[in-house]
A and B are shown apart, each in its own frame.
Chain A
Amino acid sequence: MPEKVGIVGIGQTKFTSKRRDVNIPEMVYESVKMALDDAQLEPNDIDAILIGNMDHFEGINFSEMWCGIDAAPGYMKPVVKIATGGTTGSSLGICGYYNVASGIYDKVLVVGWEKLNEGGATTGIITAFDPVWERPSLAGALGPLALMANMYMNEFNVSPETAAMVTVKNRSNAANNPFAHLQMPNITLDYVMSSQTISYPLRLHDCCPQSEGACAVIYANEKEAKRITDNPAWFHSVATSHYYTFGCDDKMYDLPTATFASKKAYKKAGIKDPIKDLDVAEVYEPTSWAELSWTEALGFAEPGKGGNLLREGISQMGGELPVNPSGGVLSTNPIGATALVRIAEAAIQVMDRGEKRQVPDAEKALAMGFGGSLWTELAILGNEPPR
């Protein structure tokens, strides 16, 4: 039987477009120090480090060597780098779980980060694809996400205004999250709809920003977790589902990996109806359109009906299943940290530490990572240890 695993410390930097006041290790350290202080632990209390980002977005290489040892407390300890594109943060989060659940380590620190203003995410993403067949026409992530939105709107006759409602919800939620990058308390549908079309049907404000920052999370086994805090966030299930699409050979909007992974994660965590049995979800939505169709893939709505979650208030704050109280990826996207922020924010909710973004009485939270070639990674956290 795996060990029960709890999150006992969280550190997030204030995400922003530029952190020119710090270099990479300094920025990583900032989040690590916050997480250690949060758990009231010393660097020596940590058994192993998992660190992740997408090096080629910054034009660097092997960065774990020079920011996983001193910035994160890796001296004389195992330090492992994880880089899986958009899912980097959820891969980190899930591997952190494995490392403790396996019984090998008692306490593990995971940290994800990115400093996107120092390089080019679109350029970096293109280099991740086949040099001969895919790179010539590929324009990073937004091109395929635009194709996906185009196919989805055509298949189900969904209006751009429906997608814009996602941005309005998430960016106004972000105003309640002191760490979020784009905080827009007074954002309107008109504001989103009147922004420039950057890749039809995507308007500027249908798309996530490029952010800089780091997120660190400390994991502990049951014995240590209970010693450290009386309020850990407990892992109830994790699921990873990978897929490969050469040359965008997929409709993408139905995200088969999300359907597959969610069925697995729900079963393990005893979730029968996600709307009823989950209290909050941190969904990975690089575009407004992605939240519409991927919440469908997660079983929150029937295909083509994702917009109803917004219109009926279900995914809004105060609804039956608020989606992205943190503001989501549409408000903050420091790629290597992004999906770990989903896990951290899900933990914050079940720990009842969300302050202005808190969903009342949140007991079960879903966190989603998306990346790679249409990959999905999920974690379900609870306020009580799993049975």
Chain B
Amino acid sequence: MNLRGEYKLAKKDREDIFEIRWKTDLPYKYSIGKLSVKFFEVLKKERKLLGSKCPECGKVHFPPRGVCAECVVKMTVDDMVEVPPRGTLVGFTVINYPFVDPQTGGMRPFPYGYALFQLDGTDTYTMHFLDEKDHTKMEIGQRVEAVFKDEMEGNLGDIPYFKIIKEG
């Protein structure tokens, strides 16, 4: 076992237990697929969002998917279509509990707004961070817009969050 072990008798004021603690780094690689590569290239260079449109049923998936689950039909980069960075709030919450983020190994900062929305012209809901921590200021049906970073890197962090907007 890759064990950086440390034998430790727990403090008496916690619990009368014997503990062995260890921390293990387990780095992985993940192939994101051609559609996601295209998405992040276009996001970085053109600050635009792409979904994928099923050639069979016409359903627009966002984020882009490689297969339309209903038709069981493959979609390629040729089926990718631009979608606007605006949509409608479908559901929301404010995450207000602590947990270790497996992406970083540290605690995920909280509270944070977490929402489900539907981008205009798409047929799917998608989830992301929402720049609002007060649930009384959120309402289903509100309009939302993606916020882009100034310096784009080609990952989902380029859209740190969506924000609630007022239109016309």
A137 is contacted by which of B91, B99, B128 (Cβ under 8 Å)? B128
Contact assessment for B102 and A143 in the assembled complex, using a CB-CB cutoff below 8 Å: no
A139 is contacted by which of B36, B65, B108, B155 (Cβ under 8 Å)? B108
Q: Kindly report which residue of chain A lies nearest to residue B105, judged by CB atoms.
A: A123
Contact assessment for A20 and B17 in the assembled complex, using a CB-CB cutoff below 8 Å: yes
Please tell me if A303 contacts chain B, counting CB pairs below 8 Å.
no
Contact assessment for A154 and B102 in the assembled complex, using a CB-CB cutoff below 8 Å: no
Contact assessment for A150 and B94 in the assembled complex, using a CB-CB cutoff below 8 Å: no
Contact assessment for B65 and A150 in the assembled complex, using a CB-CB cutoff below 8 Å: no
Interface residues of B in 93-145 (CB under 8 A from A): 93-97, 99-103, 108, 110, 114-116, 124-129, 135, 140
Kindly list chain A residues whose C-beta atoms are within 8 Å of the C-beta of B3.
none
Interface residues on chain A, size class: 35 or more
B97 is contacted by which of A142, A144, A148 (Cβ under 8 Å)? A142
Contact assessment for A139 and B95 in the assembled complex, using a CB-CB cutoff below 8 Å: yes
Q: Kindly report which residue of chain A lies nearest to residue B115, judged by CB atoms.
A: A147
Please tell me if B152 contacts chain A, counting CB pairs below 8 Å.
no
A246 is contacted by which of B101, B124, B140 (Cβ under 8 Å)? B124
Interface residues on chain B, size class: 35 or more
B103 is contacted by which of A59, A136, A148, A150 (Cβ under 8 Å)? A136
Kindly list chain A residues whose C-beta atoms are within 8 Å of the C-beta of B36.
132-133
Most chain A CB atoms below 10 A, which of B116, B126, B128: B116
Please tell me if B63 contacts chain A, counting CB pairs below 8 Å.
yes
Please tell me if A19 contacts chain B, counting CB pairs below 8 Å.
no
Q: Kindly report which residue of chain B lies nearest to residue A204, judged by CB atoms.
A: B97
Contact assessment for B91 and A147 in the assembled complex, using a CB-CB cutoff below 8 Å: yes
Contact assessment for B156 and A154 in the assembled complex, using a CB-CB cutoff below 8 Å: no
Q: Kindly report which residue of chain B lies nearest to residue A250, judged by CB atoms.
A: B125
Stretch of A94-102, A194-202, A324-332, A374-382 with 4 or more beta carbons under 8 angstroms from chain B: A194-202
Contact assessment for B100 and A197 in the assembled complex, using a CB-CB cutoff below 8 Å: no
Kindly list chain B residues whose C-beta atoms are within 8 Å of the C-beta of A65.
none
Q: How far is the CB of B161 from chain A (nearest CB, A)?
A: 9
A143-176: CB near B (< 8 Å → 1, else 0) gives 1101110110010000000000000000000000
Contact assessment for B91 and A197 in the assembled complex, using a CB-CB cutoff below 8 Å: no
Contact assessment for A140 and B99 in the assembled complex, using a CB-CB cutoff below 8 Å: yes
Kindly list chain B residues whose C-beta atoms are within 8 Å of the C-beta of A123.
99-102
Most chain B CB atoms below 10 A, which of A134, A139, A244: A139
State in angstroms the CA–CA spacing of A150 and B91 once bound together: 6
Q: How far is the CB of B7 from chain A (nearest CB, A)?
A: 16
Contact assessment for A200 and B100 in the assembled complex, using a CB-CB cutoff below 8 Å: no
Please tell me if B57 contacts chain A, counting CB pairs below 8 Å.
no
Interface residues of A in 91-141 (CB under 8 A from B): 120, 122-124, 126-127, 131-140
Contact assessment for A127 and B102 in the assembled complex, using a CB-CB cutoff below 8 Å: yes
Kindly list chain B residues whose C-beta atoms are within 8 Å of the C-beta of A247.
63, 124-127
Interface residues of B in 80-98 (CB under 8 A from A): 90-97
Please tell me if A248 contacts chain B, counting CB pairs below 8 Å.
yes
Contact assessment for B30 and A131 in the assembled complex, using a CB-CB cutoff below 8 Å: yes
Kindly list chain B residues whose C-beta atoms are within 8 Å of the C-beta of A150.
91-93, 140
Kindly list chain B residues whose C-beta atoms are within 8 Å of the C-beta of A120.
99-100
A151 is contacted by which of B65, B90, B102, B157 (Cβ under 8 Å)? B90
Kindly list chain A residues whose C-beta atoms are within 8 Å of the C-beta of B124.
246-247, 249
10 contacts between A and B (CB under 8 A): A122-B97, A123-B100, A126-B103, A136-B156, A137-B127, A146-B95, A147-B91, A199-B94, A199-B97, A248-B116
Binding site for A on B (CB under 8 A): 15, 17, 24, 30, 32, 36, 61, 63, 65, 69, 90-97, 99-103, 108, 110, 114-116, 124-129, 135, 140, 155-157
Binding site for B on A (CB under 8 A): 20, 59, 120, 122-124, 126-127, 131-140, 142-144, 146-148, 150-151, 154, 196-202, 244, 246-251
